[in-house]
């Protein structure tokens, strides 16, 4: 096991460092800016190791990024309708950074902050602990939140533990926003990857992809991935939800909605033989097929990215939960500790 630390520029006048964790043939590099997973080196079926995530060569790329490559998103991941919610009778107006709505915690959310870091060896593997204090009123959210994300490199993958405490009631719903392409060929399409998600329902959304409060069954639709299907097999089918998202950008409600650790998705790349399993304690996962990656976007190691050259599987609580009393709550109360886990497990054949 090894842990390396290197200077990686600065953001907002603060130094940024890049930490690399290596063990058992896997290697993960994480920046203190946004908690970004810069690279994830994973062997294929014949032992060749390649980076399976999208990203940039320097911190400047992430500062100017509009795709949320690899970062921590919060306080609340995904969309909050009309950038406002009511909690305990008080309405809170949030930063609007997505038309009339808020996306991924606002323009200066957790993804755009420099985190404090501490690295150490643990019995499970090398670990990087990132922490920051989100002050009362940041991006419109009430309460001061002490946030922590632990990255632990396991024997067969990467575990992320998200922890938060608050001094006032406030919504907290963090996740990681990595884009994956298991082929290891940067810029190539991910539409031939085979995806399975054990979810019989998705959140119903309006024309702005804001949840209506209803659930829609996936049977007989392009959203049925329960038996496994290529990502691109039905992405061009006539479907109002697909048309609105210009592809997949929808929250899948797992059949097992408990807070126990369970499989949320499995992805297999036939070309490389790599398989990735996503495990989580969350009740669902947002599947995004990279529809809005700009054509020709300069990426890491000279790559040129394009729409659908990477996909996201963002495990988190229900989208826009603060505005839907019928959804499982993401409100954190004083005296409580929020703790959720996401694990990316890799294998190859």
Quick one: DSSP state of residue 225?
Answer: -
CB atoms within 10 A of CB 118: 11
Interatomic CA distance for residues 305 and 296, integer angstroms: 5
Which of 17, 101, 111, 177 is the catalytic position?
177
85: its two tokens: 């919610």
Active-site residue, 177 included: yes
One of 138, 165, 277, 314 is an active-site residue; which one?
Answer: 314
Q: Indicate if 10 belongs to the active site.
A: no
Longest dimension (CA), the chain: 59
Q: Which residue has the tokens 């490389």?
A: 272
* Rounded Cα–Cα distance for residues 17 and 69 (Å): 17
Task: Report residue 139: phi and psi, to 5°.
Answer: 60, 15
Peptide bond between residue 177 and the one before it cis (omega within 30 degrees of 0): no
Nearest to 198 by CA among 281, 284, 261, 276: 284
Separation between Cα atoms, residue 204 and residue 137, nearest integer Å:
30
The Cα-based distances of 76 to 49, 109, 132, 188, 330 in angstroms read 34, 9, 15, 31, 9
Question: 255 in the Ramachandran plot: left (φ > 0), alpha (ψ -120 to 50) or beta?
Answer: alpha
Active site residues: 177, 314
């Amino acid at each position: 096991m090894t842990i390396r630390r290197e200077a990686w520029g600065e953001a907002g006048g603060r130094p940024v460092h890049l930490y690399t964790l290596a063990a058992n043939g896997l290697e993960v590099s994480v920046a203190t800016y946004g908690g970004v997973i810069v690279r994830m080196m994973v062997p294929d079926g014949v032992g060749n190791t390649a980076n399976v995530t999208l990203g940039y060569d320097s911190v400047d790329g992430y500062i100017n990024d509009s795709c949320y490559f690899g970062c921590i998103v919060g306080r609340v991941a995904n969309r909050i309708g009309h950038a406002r919610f009511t909690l305990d009778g008080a309405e809170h107006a949030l930063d609007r950074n997505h038309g009339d709505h808020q996306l991924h915690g606002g323009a200066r959310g957790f993804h755009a902050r420099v985190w404090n870091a501490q690295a150490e060896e643990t019995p499970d593997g090398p670990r990087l602990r990132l922490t920051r204090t989100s002050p009362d009123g940041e991006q419109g959210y009430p309460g001061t939140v002490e946030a922590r994300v632990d990255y632990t490199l396991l024997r067969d993958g990467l575990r992320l533990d998200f922890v938060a405490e608050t001094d006032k009631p406030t919504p907290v719903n963090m996740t990681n926003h990595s884009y994956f392409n298991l082929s290891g060929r940067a810029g190539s399409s991910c539409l031939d990857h085979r995806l399975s998600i054990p979810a019989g329902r998705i959140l119903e959304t309006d024309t702005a992809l804001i949840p209506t409060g209803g659930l829609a069954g996936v049977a007989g639709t392009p959203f049925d991935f329960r038996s496994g299907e290529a990502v691109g097999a039905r992405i061009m089918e006539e479907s109002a939800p697909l048309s609105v998202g210009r592809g997949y950008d929808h929250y899948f409600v797992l059949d097992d909605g408990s807070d126990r650790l369970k499989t949320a998705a499995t992805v297999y790349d036939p070309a490389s033989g790599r398989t990735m399993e996503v495990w989580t304690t969350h009740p669902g996962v947002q599947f995004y097929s990279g529809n809005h990656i700009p054509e020709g976007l300069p990426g890491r190691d000279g790559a040129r990215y394009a729409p659908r050259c990477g996909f996201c599987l963002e495990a988190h609580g229900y989208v826009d939960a603060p505005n839907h009393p019928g959804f499982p709550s993401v409100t954190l109360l004083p005296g409580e500790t929020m703790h959720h886990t996401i694990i990316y497990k890799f294998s190859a054949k």
